[in-house]
Amino acid sequence: MENGYALRFAFLLLLLVLVFTSSGANDFEHCKSSIKEWASSSLRSDTDTKNGHILKDLLFFLHVPRTGGRTYFHCFLKKLYSSDLECPRSYDKLRFNPRKPGCRLLATHDDYSMMSKLPREQTSVVTILRDPVERVFSTYEFSVEVAARFLVHPNLTSVIKMSNRVRSKSGGISTLEIWPWKYLVPWMREDLFSRRDARKKKGPPYLYGNDSYDMKEVVMPLHDYVNHPVAHDLVHNGATFQVAGLTNNSNIREAHELRRCVITHKILGKYVLQVAKKRLDDMLYVGITEDHRESATTFANVVGAQVISQLMASTVNNSNTTEQGPPSSDSSIDATENQDNSSSTTEAKSENMTVGKLMETYETCISSLRSSQSQRRTASLKKVSPANFTKEARRRVPDNALKEIISLNSLDMELYKYAKEIFQKQHRTMEQELHDSVTPVSSHFLNKRRDT
């Protein structure tokens, strides 16, 4: 009798294994077919983009979070483009109206799928990538930093009410409205309140330890953060998914399912990586966060110089158009709204600007911006003391934790390596052109770079 039960149990167990195996195999084949079809379609459409290294009418800054893109926007792009040339944005998923007359600059956290809303043949794309391990650390730290600002309030309910009142009255933009922080910060904020309430209930003494990334009584440990489903969806391989256009902020209807397939069947990531690499190849500029000086120099000379030239030509054309009559083209990119104001503002930005002046302005701007960011970060992290995220604290993170982050970001590791190769080639080409031209700009730049 016992043998009969054992045989039936073994049979049922085998049946379950076969069912799950069959289900898994069917899911893999479905995922493989879907991703290959998407990749083939994406690569075909990307071939329509010609002369990727020449600035076109519209510049799309694909801002990967925590890569230093904010400094490029404020200290480069805002110095080049007047506000009336920026595309209007809605920070609820960062959507915008691409048909605004005179729209020349779009700088958002939107992924590459935004290109489906843009005039592809008239759009140039730029981006910056960062070492994936450093980007994961920075994303975790910034999530804590912003969430910690709310700890001055007695409870989470009062925070939510206060946030809603502020947004409804000011009409301004909050970090909580910007992707991916609109998901990451509330998650971390709730966690911080939960841990604070638990400490109050338990009472002292508190045994925090000396590892800022593993103070579970104060902050969600890094290990828990990187293994959470939210991080898998929003953080890990985030740069690859963003360049591929498959984030949860995507314009592609099937993006969620495709991303799930890659997360579930890691071998399928090679198709997504293929698309992302091809798109980097076609971009006007690819910067590297860690190569800060070289990246800034290259951006100023490759992108900045072309923007200056383009806007100066646009100013001249607008002046001629004003004298000769209305333009013959009705293109949404070439047309201008409130032309007199647009022309004068653009002229103020471009007429007296040079690459050398742009870099001098950038260096002053970035110094001020970093100072204000550092002060705000310090004030915020005091609220989660004794946790303190520093370079020294990062060096104490165990090797197995770093290896785990690397494993979870294998696509980003490969894309970052590829981006560095693209950047190095572009930087060498730029240096050679500057050397051949022997201009004051080149000597100012190259000498300053060699001195640092």
Is residue 141 annotated as part of the catalytic site, yes or no?
A: yes
CA distance 68 to 77: 13
- CA torsion, ordered 156, 161, 163, 166, to nearest 10 deg: -150
Q: Which of 175, 400, 132, 423 is nearest to 303 (CA)?
A: 423
Strands (E), 100-234: 105-108, 123-129
Any bridge partners for residue 288, and if so which? 129
Q: Coil, strand or helix: which one is 240?
A: helix
**Which strand (E) or helix (H) includes residue 451?**
helix 440-451
- 10, with CB counted inside 10 A (0-12, 13-18, 19+), is exposed
95, 120, 195, 377: the catalytic one is 120
Task: Exactly one of 66, 104, 135, 141 is catalytic; name it.
Answer: 141
Q: For the chain, first and last CA: distance in Å?
A: 83
- From the list 341, 369, 428, 380, the residue with the least C-alpha distance to 188 is 380
**Tokens 């000597």 correspond to what residue?**
443
Active site (annotated) includes residue 351: no
- CA–CA distance, 388 with 147 (Å, rounded to integer): 14
Active-site amino acid positions: 120, 141
